[in-house]
Structure 1
Amino acid sequence: MPEIPLVPAHWHFPAHPASVRRARHAVTESLPHILRPHLGDDLGLLTSELVTNAIRHGTCRVDEDLIELVLWPADGHYWLAVSDPGTGKPVLTHPDANAENGRGLLLVDNLATTWTVRARPTRGTSVIAGLSLRQNT
């Protein structure tokens, strides 16, 4: 008989800066206690960066727009998908030393084992990042 997978954790937050902290807390608190010392900080930082980007670039910054998060374990990783209603595709850039922003995806690129951007079937964009369980346990 096949192993029954865990049900993914799923949240919606308003497109408001206060949601960044709430999302980070929700995601890290949903990790099993045994994994928090290994994944909690990196997963919290990934969540903060991706939710901040979604609010800044993927919404109209009104509380009617929602940011969706899904967290699930699979294939030796914990996967985080952050989705927004926007149609733009985030692009990894290398800002110069004087730039005041533009480093969020660099951080994601360095923290995550792998990550990608996908258009959603109906409306919006998802950024999906995976953290390896093997490297962190």
Structure 2
Amino acid sequence: MPDIPLVPAHWRFPAQPASVRRARHAVAASLPDVLRPRLGADLSLLTSELVTNAIRHGACWADEEFIELVLWPADGHYWLAVSDPGAGRPVLARPGVESESGRGLVLVDSLAAAWAVRPRPTCGTSVIAGLSLQRGGG
């Protein structure tokens, strides 16, 4: 009989700044205890950056839109997908030292073993990032 995979964790949050903290706590709480020392801090930072970007650039607060998160283990990684209803495509930029913003995807690029931007089947965009389970001397 084949191994049955874990069901991915899934959340929906209002596209509001308060959701960043809620999303970070939800994702951290769903990570198995044994993996928290290796992945917890980086997964929390990834969550914060991706959710913040989705709220700022991919959703309209006034329209009561939502962002969605999915977390799942596969192929030696923990994958996080953050989706928003926006049509824009996030792009990795290298802001100058004087810039006050624009470093979110730089952090994602630095932390993640792999990441990509994908259109959603119906509408919107997903940013997917994976952290290696071997991270931190695992």
Query: Which has the larger displacement, 10-19 or 58-67?
Result: 58-67
Q: How many residues align?
A: 137
Provide Cα deviations, 1:90-126, integer angstroms capped at 9, x if missing partner.
Answer: 0000011100000000000000000000000110000
Equivalence for 1:75? 75
Q: Does 1:100 align with 2:100?
A: yes
CA RMSD after TM alignment: 0.8
1:134 is matched by which residue type in structure 2?
Answer: Q
- Note if contact 1:69-1:83 (Cα within 8 Å) is conserved in structure 2: yes
1:64: how far off? 1.7
Q: Give yes or no for the alignment of 1:125 onto 2:125.
A: yes
Matched residue SS, 1:62: helix
Uncovered stretches (5+) of structure 1, i.e. residues with no partner: none
Tell me if the contact between 1:116 and 1:129 (Cα under 8 Å) persists in the aligned partners. Answer: yes
Give the Cα separation in 2 of the matches to 1:45 and 1:95.
19
Aligned match of 1:38? 38
TM-score, normalising length: structure 2: 0.97
Alignment-derived partner of residue 50 in structure 2: 50
Deviation at 1:135, TM superposition (A): 2.5
The 3-state SS of whatever aligns with 2:73 is strand
Could you tell me how far apart the structure 2 residues matched to 1:7 and 1:62 are? Answer: 33
CA contact (8 A) 1:16 1:62 kept: no
Where does residue 28 of structure 2 map in the other structure?
A: 28
Tell me if 1:6 matches 2:6: yes
Structure 1 stretches of 4+ with a deviation exceeding 4 A read none
Name the SS of the counterpart of 1:90 in structure 2. Answer: coil
Letter aligned with residue 17 of structure 2:
P
- 2:16 counterpart of 1:16: yes
Partner of 1:134: 134
Which amino acid is 1:56 matched to? R
- Give the letter aligned to residue 49 of structure 1: E
